[in-house]
Structure 1
Amino acid sequence: MFQSDYRREMDRLAPTQAALERLEGLLAEGPAEGKRPRRRLGRRAALALALCGALTATALAAGPSIRQALSAHLGSFAPYGQALEGTATVNGVEIRLLEAVTDGYSARVYYTLTDLEGGRFNDHTAVGGGISAENLGAVARFGGGVISYDPDTDTLLVEKLLFGADFSQPAALTVGSADSSRRTFDAVLPVTLPEEPIQTTLVDGRAVALPGQNTVADPDNGDYVLSTVGFDGEGRFHALVLFDEQFHDLTGDAYPYIPGAEGIDRYPGETEWVKVEHGEDTITTGVTPEQVEYVFVSGSYHGPEEPIPLNVTFPLELQPVDAWEQAPGRAMGGVQVEKIHLSPLSLAVFYRDSLESSVGHVVLTRKDGTQVPLRIQIGGAAIGEDAGLRYDFWSFDEPVELDDIASITIRGETIPLS
């Protein structure tokens, strides 16, 4: 049975680093036969080291592999962690809180799930749930997932995050379920196109590739194959992904991949998707045979495993790290800035609603003259005590020492921190 699928967002599709590294290896080997070549931790962190003993003791309960994974994940943010307490056992799964890293408006919470019955977790288990708190505004960013899986102890290390909430107020962590059925994949596969047009069958007015004409396998994943890849008699490019019959809820995108191209240029032309039995045919126009030496495949599918319901909620008493605040309450470069909140983890600027959509470019300068790289996460309209304001929020790739910061520049106006 065939049916049309919806158009997916192009910008969300990109090869993982592992797929790109594999592609680099293929390029280093040369073309296939017949193809053309083509900081230091400062005073705040030093004081926080006193907390590390408690965090280490908490992580020890999770086992050495999980402890090492958490330490590696936190990196230079580890001294800002807060040990958490809380355990629960539901349906043979032990849930154990480990720690949190939080400031006034962002939080990351870490915990483990251990399968006491054994054999129900794997390296693609997904954990539902997240952090709930009093949202700062209409826009908040949720995220996180499984960081690490230790098969020796059947333990998952999980991170959940929430940006854009007021963490001076009570918060909670909900653990919804553990689902080992969903798998995802992506790969960049070298392909050899047939010299003749591929055979198709007409379904609902569209030509769909017949399977098994020039199968390409993923050496790292035997759950699916690129069953047919090539151009039909009308010049449309087909990439037919088929899955093993044990899987369901299938999506399999496959596009011409052009090494070195950026953004949407990776996928030239128009694209449509057609569901087929046990798979999906991706049909692309506007691409020529000379461009197709590699195909980027990605997607998701579900196996026979049943999700494990957990539905546990832990109250969180989070302790935000020390922060610097100022309330200018005046216009800065045409924007009425009401409050600035700077922590070692992030920067938030609140301002009156105006024709401007944001405060624009902000510069955070250290006393040595260097600038702190800023990564904007969200912006939106505030509620609660800051109702009527808008805000922009940035996070840092590395923690900053407040004593090392000289000034913040907003719309050309510089505010010293001392």
Structure 2
Amino acid sequence: MFEPEYRAQFDSINPSPALVEATKDRVRTASSNREKPRRHLTRRGLAALATAAVLTVTALAAGPTLWQAIQNDLGNRASYATQVEAACEDQGIRIEVLAALADTRVTRLYFTVQDRTGALLDADTTSDLILSQETGGQFDWGNGGKGLEVLSYDPEQHLATLVYSRGTADLAGTPPTRVRLDATYFIPGHRQAELVLDRDELPTETLESTVTDAGTTVLLSDQNPMVLGEDGDVSISSIGFASDGSFHIRFAQGEKVSPITDGECPFRVDYYLYDPENPERWPDQGVGNAICTAVEGGWDFCLPSLTPDTLEYLDLLCLSADYSVAGGRIEGNWAVTVPVEVMDLRTAAPAEPLVLPYTQNGEQPYGRAHDAQLHQLTVSPLSVCADFTTPEGQEAPCMLNGAELSLTVTMADGTVLAPAYYDEVWSQQAGWVMWEFEDPIDPDQLVSVTLNGQTIPLS
């Protein structure tokens, strides 16, 4: 059984960069009295980290058929969707595509994932399932959209019905003509555990240790156990300095723990030290020289650069575990490519340059350093999308807060509609913001779009 949790920043193989970054921001803020500027992480940057989509699905009561589930999600958009049928199967896992909806910047793909053996996938299955789109003759992951969502689950057939919505690439000027859904692995029973400690939280006593037959110093077990994760499958057995003068962490793992990477060790340690000659500089990169040694019931990590003499320069110690409790990784080849039909679109550009400032809660925190110039408006029966570029001569990238923009459209009969904000994507040079209508419109009856008080007629 599955429960949807699509991660904007998903990384099921390595420890979460988001957690490390968030913790570093917390420590930085705590150690400084001055306010930090808002950090802008583009969707493109998140996509570059993405290698896995979470397919955890909770048991839903036996309910509507999968087509009913798809129509319920589409709502009044249903008549604009196209039926596309294609499937692939490997290792007893079948993916079947059923329908697609391509609207300006965002494509929604409806499909099923079925465990045909009934014994492979479980409630914590993850995968590197990804939706890419063909624009300009090549496939691109794209950015934006709501990601992966589960619409229904049939426990008797072990069949999940899902929708994957994805925006086009930042600089793509046209909707996609084809989309591809592919994966190279599924990981049932996937677990992740993370613990971040700063210097004040770190145990610093010297513990008992021993030397292996290979001459490696390792901590003895069960000296000052710490919790790692919630299920008890992995834990910290001992943590502190060893007789070799370096800091060590000894991890313990249960019998059902399986690694999911090429190596046998499911644990990882990253640590960050200030430069004693430049203590004000934040150490963006971890030291990266941890030594991993297999020990009875787990693994010992030695951090050679962390000693009693360098302890004062430690800022963060990041411990993580990434593993399976259901047999490990299922590798295969799943790929489905289908054509998509784009509905009729209308476009308009402002007669005069229209430049908008970035705002946060109505204020301009960057002193108009991140202006964005409207390039074009695209209108479909379902949505309005505004494409922006960086104004000429501006060094900082363009950036707007789409949720704070005001947009209305005027119809030929005088009706004024206010579509709801849907999503936005910003790269270094361009970006887009998309709004959706509550009910479909006839684009031919649209007279003008008003953005932040500026009216752009549609010819």
Counterpart selection for 1:163 from 157, 168, 171: 168
Is the strand fraction higher in 1 or 2? 1
1:339 paired residue number: 376
Deviation string, structure 1 residues 181-240 (Cα, Å, up to 9, x no partner): 5834135699x9768433457999998655432233457334322222346689987554
- Alpha-carbon distance between aligned partners in 2 of 1:14 and 1:177, rounded to the nearest angstrom: 27
Give the structure-1-normalised TM-score: 0.57
How many Å apart are 1:300 and its aligned residue? 2.0
Between the aligned partners of 2:320 and 2:253, the Cα distance in structure 1 is 12
Q: Given that residues 250 and 301 in structure 2 are in contact (C-alpha distance below 8 angstroms), is that contact kept between their aligned partners in structure 1? A: yes
Instruction: Please give the residue correspondences for 1:194-213 in structure 2 after superposition, counting only pairs within 5 Å.
Output: 196-199=205-208, 209-213=219-223
Aligned twin of 1:3 = none
Deviation digits for residues 108-159 of structure 1 (CA, Å, limit 9, x no counterpart): 3231111222211122141535333115999853584574866543224444
CA positional deviation for 1:247? 1.9
Counterpart residue identity of residue 334, structure 2: N
Question: Secondary structure of 2:405's partner?
Answer: strand
The yes-or-no answer on 1:365 pairing with 2:406 is: yes
Query: In the alignment, what sits opposite 1:216?
Result: 226
The answer to whether 1:315 aligns with 2:338 is yes
1:327–1:154 CA distance, 2 compared to 1 (3 A): same
Partner residue of 2:432 out of 385, 393, 404: 393
Write out aligned runs for 1:78-157 (5 A). Answer: 78-80=75-77, 82=81, 84-88=83-87, 90-91=89-90, 92-122=92-122, 123-134=124-135, 141=142, 144=147, 147=150, 151-157=155-161
- Post-superposition CA distance 1:59-97 (Å, at most 9, x none): 944499xx49x96xx6xx754453533143634444332
Across the aligned residues of Structure 1 and Structure 2, the Cα RMSD in angstroms comes to 5.6
Matched, 1:243 2:253: yes
Task: Give CA-to-partner distance per residue, 1:350-404, whole Å, 9 cap, x none.
Answer: 5488433544447631459999768542336xxxxxxxxx5312356xx45588x
CA distance in 2, matches of 1:205, 1:371: 68
* Alignment partner of 1:173 is 2:180: yes
Conserved 8 A contact 1:251-1:280: no
* 1:415 corresponds to 2:455: yes
Partner of 1:20: none
Match of 1:355 in 2: 393
Separation in 1, partners of 2:185, 2:400: 41
Q: 2:451 is aligned with what amino acid?
A: I
Partners of 2:131 and 2:141 within 8 A in 1: no
* Alpha-carbon distance in 2 for matches of 1:342, 1:194: 59
How far has the Cα of 1:326 moved from its partner? 1.1
Asked if structure 2 preserves the Cα contact closer than 8 Å seen for 1:252 and 1:280, the reply is no
Q: Would the alpha carbon gap of residues 296 and 339 (structure 1) be closer, same or farther in structure 2, given more than 3 Å must change?
A: same
| Unaligned segments of structure 1, at least 5 residues | 1-7, 17-58, 257-266, 381-389
Contact preservation (8 Å) 2:178, 2:339: yes
In structure 2, the residue matched to 1:40 is none
Q: Distance in 2 between matches of 1:194 and 1:211?
A: 15
Distance 1:268 1:167, change over 3 A: closer
Equivalent-residue separation in structure 2 for 1:345 and 1:236 (angstroms): 59
Counterpart of 1:183 in structure 2: which amino acid?
H
1:300 to 315, 318, 322: 322
Counterpart-to-counterpart distance in 2, 1:184 and 1:364: 40
Q: 1:391 to 1:221 in 2, by over 3 A?
A: same
* Secondary structure of 1:377's aligned partner: strand
CA shift in 2, pair 1:281/1:354, >3 Å: farther
- Residue identity over aligned pairs, in percent, reads 15
- 1:326 counterpart residue number: 348
Contact 2:217/2:244, CA 8 A, preserved across alignment: no
- Residues 108 and 243 from structure 1, CA distance in 2 versus in 1: closer, same or farther, beyond 3 angstroms? farther
Query: Which is worse superposed, 118-127 or 354-363?
Result: 354-363
Q: Is 1:12 aligned to 2:15, yes or no?
A: no
Alpha-carbon distance in structure 2 between the residues aligned to 1:234 and 1:221: 33
What's the CA shift for 1:332?
A: 3.6
Q: Distance in 2 between matches of 1:187 and 1:126?
A: 20
Matches within 5 A, 1:221-232: 221-230=231-240
Q: Which amino acid aligns with 1:365?
A: S
Do structure 1's residue 276 and structure 2's residue 280 form an aligned pair?
A: no
Say if 1:153 and 1:279 are closer, same or farther in 2 by CA, change over 3 A.
farther
The one-letter amino acid paired with 2:207 is I
Q: TM-score, normalised by structure 2?
A: 0.53
Post-superposition CA distance 1:309-336 (Å, at most 9, x none): 343423132344x766312365344987
SS in 2 for 1:133: strand
SS of structure 2 residue aligned to 1:12: helix
Size of the alignment, in residue pairs? 337
SS across alignment from 2:129: strand
Of residues 360-369 and 243-252 in structure 1, the stretch that sits farther from structure 2 once superposed is: 360-369
Q: 1:378 aligns with which of 426, 445, 449?
A: 426
